Amino acid sequence: MKFGLLLFLLFILPIISPIIADELFQQILFNNDGTLPKFRQKASNNYCRDFGPTSSVLLFAHRGSCYSLTNQLVTWSQADNLCQNHFHVDTNKNQGGLALFDDAIEFDYVRQIIGVFNRSATEFGAYIGFSYRNQSWLWLNGRHVNFSETPPSVIAPNNLIFPYQQQKPCGKLELLRPNETTVLFGLMQQECTKTERALCKIKVDHCFENDQCGIHGVCNNDGPTFHCECEFLYDGIYCDKCIYLLINFFF
């Protein structure tokens, strides 16, 4: 009986070991929300130092992007121009800009970083990439601001998001500590001529999650953009066209 069990283990271990190792590898590399553990985040932050200027007050990374808090106090329009040329890598020139938030996960991550950075501050503000245009609050890329994912720091009277659209049409991040136990963080409107720091963002790894090219392609960074290398019999910008099916259709 024991001899049979030993033979079974000798046969099965070489088969399952790579599977177990691969599963452990995935758990080590990524958290459940797709972010990297602390020890990988540190390495990623070191990587961001290749892109951010030494004048950055705060430099951190998340999901293939680098964020930099500027030392200069500027108006909103100056902040936009500053961020476009803030990162000093030629291959990514003009790829940087005022920070935009793609989802609640990114917003919450930035909230944690800013909260730790301003642990003792009673008030903090930094311009980011949204403003009031065409009767709506829009990110610089034209996408509507989703206030359920990226909420304001303070809800205005009468349950309004921001009550002063015309007088204060520029957007910023705001952190407030009205007392020792309360921390308010979120988006807030600002007069565009007032000066604040700027939170800049640049995408340095378009292939961080390797989801652009689907299951039939491999993502490769290509300077300010990326390209997909497709598997055999697959084609298209995102490797989503099966050549075999096209051949069958025509022949």
Average pLDDT of the segment spanning 52-76 = 87
Of all residues in the chain, the percent with pLDDT exceeding 70 is 69
Q: What is the pLDDT of residues 82-132, one digit of tens each?
A: 998 887 655 545 478 999 999 999 999 999 999 999 888 899 999 999 999
Of all residues in the chain, the percent with pLDDT exceeding 90 is 39
Residue 37, both tokens: 């553990």
Most confident among 2-11, 16-25, 94-103, 216-225 (mean pLDDT): 94-103
Q: Which domains does the chain have, with CATH numbers?
A: 18-203 (3.10.100.10), 206-250 (2.10.25)
- pTM of the full predicted structure? 0.68
pLDDT at 13 over 50: no
